[in-house]
Every structure is written in C-alpha cells, then in structure tokens.
Amino acid sequence: MGQIKRFLVGKPIATEHQHHERLSRITALAVFSSDALSSVAYATEAILTILILGGAAALGLALPIAGGIAVLLVVVAFSYRQTIRAYPKGGGGYIVAHENLGKLPGLIAAGALLTDYVLTVAVSISAGVAAITSLANTWGAPWVKDYAVEIALFCIFLVTLANLRGVKESGAIFAVPTYAFVASILVLVVYGIGMDLLFGAKPVEQHITPELLHGETIGLWLILRAFAAGCTALTGIEAISDGVPAFRSPEAKNASSTLTWMVAILVTMFLGITWLANAHGAIPNEITHETVVSQIARTIFGNGPIYFVIQVATAIILVLAANTAYADFPRLASFLSRDRFLPRQFSSRGDRLVFSNGILALGFFSALLVVIFQANEIAMLPLYAIGVFISFTLSQAGMVRRHFRIKEEGWKRGAVINGIGATLTAIVLVVLAVTKFTHGAWAVMVLIPILVVIFNSIHRHYNSVARQLSLEGADLPIALRRHTAVVLVSGIHRGVLPALQYGSSLAPDNVTAVYVNLDPDQTAKLQQRWRDWGCNVPLVVLESPYRSLITPLFNYIQEMDARYDDDVLTVVLPEFVPAHWWEHMLHNQTGFLIKTALMFNKNVVVTSVPYHLER
C-alpha cells in the first residue's frame, strides 16, 4: 500500500521545506484564478438566457448589464485587496466575519463557502465534460455522452490526485491550460472586435434558429434576474484572499498584485465576449446546445484550427476550474478545525505538505454530487453562487465593522468601498435566493443552517473534552494495590502463548484465561491440551447457550471488575497478524468486535498481543 501511495502522491516532503512549496505570482494566478476566469465561458450566456425571455429587444441590454457586473467585480476586488492587507495569513469570509461580526456570522460564511466549493467542483467538471461530449459528437462519436458520469468521476480523481501531490506540482500542471485559455479568449476578443470595427460584424449563422420569446415584460425584475444570473462571473474572486499563505514572501503584496491581474483579465474577457455576442447576435440555443462562445468563435474564425483550439481550451479550463476549490476548501477546513468547529484531522498536513484530508473530503462530496445529478451541470446551477454571495456579503460587512473598530489610515475610504460592495452583493443575494428558490436554491439555504448546527456540536464536544482533561482541580492518582489480568482465548496455538506470558507478567498471582463454550467437543479438546500448554494459567470456561461470544465475555469481565475497587483490570487479546494486508479480509474480526464492546467500559484496559505470521 505504501508503494502505491508513493507512486500516486510522490515522496514525502520534510516540514522544513515548506517554504519551497510557495507559489509565484504566475503560478498562483493559474492555481487560484481558474474558477473565476473560466466563468467567462458561461457568464454572458447566463445573462442572455434570462434576457431572451423578453424577446429580441431585451438582448441589447446584455452589454449594460455586463458593464454593471464589471463594476461590481472591481468593487469586490478592491474590497478583497483590503482584506488581504488586513489578514496576511489568510482572510476569507469565515475569518473576517468571525472576527468582526461574531461566531454565528462566521460559521454561516464558512458553511456557505464549503457548500459552494463542493458545487464548484461538481459544476465545473460536469460543464467541462459536457464540452468534451459535445466535441466528441461533432467528431461522430455521440456514444461518449453515455459515459458522462464516469468521465466526470475520472476527472475528479485526476484533479484530486494532482492536489495531493502538492501545491507546487499542481500549480505547474494547471498553469499551461489556464494561460492557453486566457490567450485563446483574448485573441478572440482582440481580433474579433478589431475586424468588426474595420469591416463590420457578421451575424451568427444558426443551424436551427431558436424561437425568441416574448413572455416577459422588459422591466426592472427581468434586468435584476439577468444581472443576478451574470454574477456567476464573480465566483472564485475570494479565492486569493483565502490562500494568501500559499504565496511567496511578501505574501500580502504578491496576493494583492495577483488579484488585480486576475480581475483585469476577467473583466476584459467578460466584456469582450459580451460585446461580441451583442455585435454578432449570438444567443443561447437550447435546440443545438451550442454555447455562445462557440457561436462567436465559429463566426469569426470559421471551423478551422483556431476554433478547435478555443473549444478545447474552454473544455479543459472548465474541468480545471475545480482546482480553485481544491486550493481553498482544505485551507478553510483547516481554519475551522483549528478553531474546533471541524474534526482535528482537517488541520494536519499530509506527506506532501498539503491538507490531504480536506482534499479527499472535497473529492468525495463533489463525486457524490456528480453521481446524484448524473453530471448534469444545468440541474446543479440553481444551487450555485448562493453560497459565495452569502460569503461576499458577510465578509464585506465584517470589513466595514473592522474599519470603524480599528480606524486605520484611510479607513473612511475603505468603509465606503466595503459598504458599497456589501450592499450590492446583498441585493444580488436576495435576487438569487428569490428567483432560484423553487429551482433548488432552497436546498443550499437549508443545508447551511444544518452545517452551522454540526459546527457548534463539534465545538461543544471539543470544549467538553478539554474541560474533562484539564488538570485544574485534579487529584494526584493513588497508587494501585493490585492488578488483574484476563486473557481471552479462542483455542490453544502459538499465537496464544505470548499473550499468556504477557498476562502472567502483568499479574503473576491474579491472571485468568477465559474461553467461551460454543462447541462442547472443541471445548473438551482445549481443556485436555491446556494442561500441557496453558503456562500454568487457570482456564475459565463460560457457557453460552445462545451461541453468543460477546455477551458472556462482557458479563464475566464486569463481574471481575466489580470484585475490587483498588485494582486495574487488563483484558489481554491474542491476535495473529497476516503477512499481507489483503489477508486480513480472509479472517473474522472477532478481536476488533471485542475491543469495540469493551471500549466504553472506563475501568477496563484492553491490550492486544500480536503474533506476526511469516510470508
């Protein structure tokens, strides 16, 4: 097993080499920005999907709405730049809300972000798989779509494995596809706008023209819904502020610079795609399922190699967009674990200096979502973005509170920026919750309070454990007057002899071997052999008329424990250990069951004496 782990994950990295695993700006942009940057593949289309309900006249509103979202992007980015400066050790929504607004808002933000990270992996990879199956369909292989779930699970496995190998290696893996996508979209935007300005825009040719609806009036509600739908472009913006400790020194400066570049690239691509969609008349087509980006690229470059590169780069970046969640989910889980709101295992780094347990948990839950929704990203979209906007709102409100509390230099300007950001994201959150509630958003809104309850339950448990283990008010233990040993035997063989010797060394004058009579013939044979091989340890045979093994043993041990108040009762379990790990499955787990049954008896010590079998 160890060799398999080394092959998949790599050799362990010493703790003192942790600083060598930090990310440069170029690598960090790929690791933390893939989710945000990939949103341009569907954000414009999300806006048009709502506006099309108002007919052709409403489609012209896409560019102004995209401009409003771009302003919101910039405001949120400035807000998180201040968060990075204020929290150089990592200041995601949980840290900021918990410190400035209190425990409950902090846990709500944490629950919202954890939920959104799982959805990010499931939605991004499912969308990437949809792009792959669409491309396969154009190549005459429609059967590929029948294996969408299997392909998605395999992609989750690969991304999980890459992250288990460590941030430096995963950054190198994801850097090339991320920059290939950015380059292809920027080429599309620059070349497309330039040609349109010089020669005019060529309308998109639809293979099957979709029907334009006129079911809704063009009004404030339609505009707000389109605005909220397009705000999927903001998912992933908070990732850099969560992962500041992963940057090279000076961490805060490098993180702020990377955030600025990410937002600049994102706004350029988003506005450029929206401008081209408006100029060329690209609209969502539910009949052909061709994306808006595909329509634009096909119209500008034709079906040649450049179009192919854009489509492949888009498919890959959608799959790799999940990596942003893999960078932040484990780190947020470690913060919660450190504060005793999640199991302590989430705060430990693995062999490769990454939070392995958090990575594995994210992979498991996202794979479960993919199976439940059959890799259908459309079905999961109503659940998406709710969590991140809850975090946006609480985080920025927390920063406003911090400005007024600390009043550092420039705090008034910062409070205004964060206040505007909190107000705008709160409005978007309300619109998202109302418009998507009946389409599945209710599940997220129910899940987050459940997570908060779980967080508090774990916290109470750890506080109770700490209180009970505290030495405050404790008395020094009184020396024990006697020791009692009970050796549980299932027969007489070489594996039992060391256990009998061990029991005799613990309590030379008070050791007993116990056997449960399940077969009278076997019991008689054991008693005959015991005279020669019992190591002078008295044998007690317990009757079990109902063929139960645990109950007679448990009753006898309780009886022995009740005899004295000043002793320690040790139950000795002889266990043979097979030479190969898989051979354990060929033997019953009686010893494990007995240890589990005795675990909750606070006056009994259970000791296993292993006997190792040779190969």
Q: Give 40-50 pLDDT, tens digit per residue.
A: 887 888 888 88
Range with lowest mean pLDDT among 177-181, 214-218, 241-245, 562-566: 214-218
* Secondary element (H or E) of residue 260: helix 251-280
Range with lowest mean pLDDT among 212-216, 345-349, 412-416, 468-472: 212-216
**534 and 614 Cβ atoms separated by less than 8 Å:** no
Q: What is the pLDDT of residue 335?
A: 86
Torsion over CA of 421, 422, 423 and 427, rounded to 10 degrees? 100
Q: What is the pLDDT of residue 20?
A: 44
In this prediction the pTM is 0.73
Q: What is the pLDDT of residue 2?
A: 47
pLDDT category, 275, cuts 50, 70, 90? very high
Which of 460-464, 558-562, 577-581 has maximum average pLDDT? 460-464
Q: What is the pLDDT of residues 358-410, one digit of tens each?
A: 888 999 999 999 898 888 776 776 677 788 788 888 988 998 898 888 888 77
Closest CA to 236 of 333, 158, 121: 121
Task: Classify 385 in phi/psi space as left (phi over 0), alpha (psi -120 to 50) or beta.
Answer: left
Decide: helix, strand or coil at residue 588.
coil
pLDDT category, 104, cuts 50, 70, 90? very high
Domain 34-458 sits in CATH at 1.20.1740.10
Cα 237–243–248 angle (5° rounding)? 120
- In the chain, where the domains are located: 34-458, 482-612
pLDDT category, 169, cuts 50, 70, 90? very low
User: Is 3.40.140.10 the CATH number for 482-612?
Assistant: no
State which amino acid sits at residue 459.
H
Mean pLDDT confidence for 538-553: 84
Long-range contacts: 259-262, Cβ < 8 Å, 24+?
259/77, 259/80, 259/81, 259/84, 260/77, 260/81, 261/25, 261/29, 262/29, 262/32, 262/33, 262/36, 262/37, 262/77
Cα 128–134–138 angle (5° rounding)? 145
Backbone angles phi, psi at 304, to 5 degrees: -80, -165
Residue carrying structure tokens 């930090």 = 22
Decide: helix, strand or coil at residue 103.
helix
* Secondary element (H or E) of residue 314: helix 305-320
Q: What is the pLDDT of residue 506?
A: 86
Q: What is the pLDDT of residues 16-67, one digit of tens each?
A: 444 445 677 888 887 778 778 888 887 888 888 888 887 777 888 889 999 9
Distance CA 179, CA 181 (A): 5
Q: What is the pLDDT of residue 7?
A: 43
